[in-house]
Amino acid sequence: MTEKVLIIEDSVAEAQALAHQLMEDYHFPSDVAHCLKDAEALLNQTTDTIYVSAVVDLHLPDGKVGAAFELTNQFKIPAIVFTGQLNSELRKRFTSDYLADFVFKTGEHDFKYVCWLVNRLYHNRDLKVLIVDDSISARLTLKTLITHQGFQVLEAEDGKSAMLQMECNPDIVVVDLFLPDILGYELCRKIQRDFTSDYRQLIGVSSKADENSSVLLLKNGCHDFIPRPFNFEEFNSRLNQRAEYIDNTKELHRLNQEKNRFLGMAAHDLRNPAAAIHHAANRLKSLNIENSKVKRALEIIHKSCDSIQILLNDLLDISAIETGKLVLNKNTFNLCPIIEERVQHHQIHANSKNIAIRLELPESAMVDIDSPRMSQVIDNLLSNAIKYSPKNSQTTIRLEKESKHLTLSVIDQGPGIKKEDIESLFTAFTRLGHKTTGGESSHGLGLAICIRIMHAHGGSIDYRDAEGGGSHFYIKIPK
């Protein structure tokens, strides 16, 4: 079946403009009727077309005022009345029939709004709205409004039944403030606690609200509050805005996942040619070539290949972490020897800049960790400290035992982090203003990987300015 929009409009220019806008913005095909007779013919013919919604004018040359709406209502097609004249009587019918909205023709923006609303009515079919209200009449009013916006509707009369309906995973929950067994804001808090979601939206409603009611709802998990009695156009608009937020958030999540998969595939495919270049450079270096320019070129190739390999490994790590493929293999280890081993690994780099590494470690510090991943965190912090520290300075690594966790600090005497950069410090691909002191490369992924590894361990990583200047990064590892 072909899904289309039905446009009933006697103005040829306006109908063409609307049809063009629908196709250009949302790829919706449409059928156009310029009079009531043509509209009836389109609706009565037996074809493979389904009209998902209709945009209708109130005034047609061959029918009474509102005849087009009555026709679409007869066929149970959600209709958007698009008119240049106010009709108060028709606007009162928002709680009955299949009237989705009433839009006035005032300019280009209104055409775009109508197209946006057609798109929303189409996509609302995939979203579920849970109504939580003990009043049967109130639920019926809400159900009528919400159904005419295309949503699937679930109902609950109290907090207990609402929590049972949450198993159906509704996208939007409309909660009355006063329920027989629980206050609405307490229910919102329970929903947010027990049914965590990056997308779900909660809307509070009440006819008995005082000035504190909206505050209580908004501070306990609601994303919006609408007092009764409703202005139905306002209610529909705000409900659709919540739905738009859900769809946009899901799309951003999908694009982010796609980006991470692309990064992973690209990094994986580039590792083999990068390794081949690295191997060829090593073979050429082993030939003891006397030409100084050639030797220098080989050193540049070798160093660049090392940087590329580090970047590719980090890209693979960030891709695995972001797509949920990071799996920890935790065992009980003494963290002190692991720290000492990582310091030895970086000692040559530190010696090249005459940076002293001072260790302040207890005799033993047993903890459950994924040793390779924790080593990766230590490597990143120590490597950064050496990269950004001046020559002839000192870097301190301190491990402290506390009641519920171990705290590992890496403290350098470099320039520190600017206040305006701290907020984005652990964001992927963030490059801070300071330059490395030895020409080392930096691609801005290390700290982003560190924070994700620490969160996977149930721990944390943070930063503060070191006493006397410099950076103080510290991680907390649960015992």
The 8-class DSSP code of residue 178 comes to B
Give pLDDT, residue 223: 95
CATH topology of domain 331-478: Heat Shock Protein 90 (3.30.565)
Tens-place pLDDT, residues 409-428 = 999 999 988 888 888 888 87
pLDDT band at 287 (very low <50, low <70, confident <90, very high): confident
Is pLDDT of 95 > 60?
no
Length of the chain: 479
Q: How far apart are CA 403 and CA 42, in angstroms?
A: 76
Beta-carbon-side half-sphere exposure of residue 38 (alpha carbons within 13 Å): 13
One-letter identity of residue 292: S
- Tokens 């005849």 correspond to 67
Which residues, including other chains, have CB under 8 Å from residue 321's CB and lie 6 or more apart? 449, 452, 453, 456
pTM: 0.68
Tens-place pLDDT, residues 358-411 = 999 998 999 999 998 999 999 999 999 999 999 999 999 999 999 889 999 999
* CA angle centred on 161, ends 158 and 165, rounded to 5°: 125
Query: What is the layout of strands, in order, in the sheet containing 405-411?
Result: 356-360, 394-401, 405-411, 471-478, 460-465
Give pLDDT, residue 270: 79
pLDDT average, residue stretch 244-267? 84
At the second CATH level, the architecture of 127-230 is 3-Layer(aba) Sandwich (3.40)
What are the b/e assignments for 423-447, b being 16+ CB within 10 Å? eebbebeeebebeebeebebeebbb
Q: Computed over its alpha carbons, how large is the radius of gyration of the chain?
A: 32
Which residues, including other chains, have CB under 8 Å from residue 115's CB and lie 6 or more apart? 18, 21, 22, 25, 26, 28
* Residue in 355, 274, 273 with CA at minimum distance from that of residue 310: 274
Give pLDDT, residue 274: 81
The 8-class DSSP code of residue 47 comes to -
Give pLDDT, residue 93: 58
Tens-place pLDDT, residues 203-252 = 999 887 677 888 889 999 999 999 888 888 899 999 999 999 999 999 99
Is residue 429 classed as helix, strand or coil in its secondary structure? coil
In the chain, list all ranges with CATH 3.40.50.2300: 2-122, 127-230
Give pLDDT, residue 180: 95
In the chain, list all ranges with CATH 1.10.287: 253-322
**Please, which residues bridge with residue 204 across strands?**
175, 225
**Please, which residues bridge with residue 400 across strands?**
407
* Residue in 409, 301, 297 with CA at minimum distance from that of residue 359: 409
Is pLDDT of 462 > 90?
yes
| Residue 412, token pair as written in the block | 């350098």
Average pLDDT, the chain: 88
Q: How far apart are CA 269 and CA 259, in angstroms?
A: 15
Beta-strand runs (E) in 118-213 = 128-132, 152-156, 172-176, 201-206
Mean pLDDT check: name the lowest of 90-94, 114-118, 257-261.
90-94
Q: How far apart are CA 236 and CA 342, in angstroms?
A: 59
Is residue 315 classed as helix, strand or coil in its secondary structure? helix
Query: Does 46 or 275 have the greater pLDDT score?
Result: 275
Give pLDDT, residue 5: 96
Give pLDDT, residue 465: 93
Virtual torsion, Cα 275, 277, 280, 284, nearest 10 deg: -130
Please give the share of the chain, as a percent, with pLDDT higher than 70: 94
Is pLDDT of 178 > 80?
yes
* CA angle centred on 431, ends 426 and 436, rounded to 5°: 110
Is pLDDT of 96 > 70?
no
* Residue in 68, 226, 75 with CA at minimum distance from that of residue 138: 226
Q: Phi/psi at 53 (nearest 5 deg)? A: -165, 170
Mean pLDDT check: name the lowest of 79-83, 282-286, 462-466.
282-286
Give pLDDT, residue 432: 62
Q: How far apart are CA 149 and CA 53, in angstroms?
A: 10
- The helix (run of H) or strand (run of E) holding residue 12 is helix 12-26
Give pLDDT, residue 323: 67
**CATH class of residue range 253-322:** mainly alpha
Question: Would you say domain 2-122 falls under CATH 3.40.50.2300?
Answer: yes
Q: Judge contact between 96 and 232, C-beta under 8 A.
A: no
Give pLDDT, residue 307: 74
Q: How far apart are CA 36 and CA 102, in angstroms?
A: 19
In the chain, list all ranges with CATH 3.30.565.10: 331-478
Q: Judge contact between 49 and 1, C-beta under 8 A.
A: yes
Which residues, including other chains, have CB under 8 Å from residue 304's CB and lie 6 or more apart? none
**Helix 232-285 / helix 292-322 crossing angle, nearest 10 deg:** 150
Give pLDDT, residue 107: 83
Q: Judge contact between 28 and 121, C-beta under 8 A.
A: no
pLDDT band at 91 (very low <50, low <70, confident <90, very high): low
pLDDT band at 57 (very low <50, low <70, confident <90, very high): very high
Mean pLDDT check: name the lowest of 140-149, 196-205, 441-450.
441-450
Q: How far apart are CA 315 and CA 146, in angstroms?
A: 45
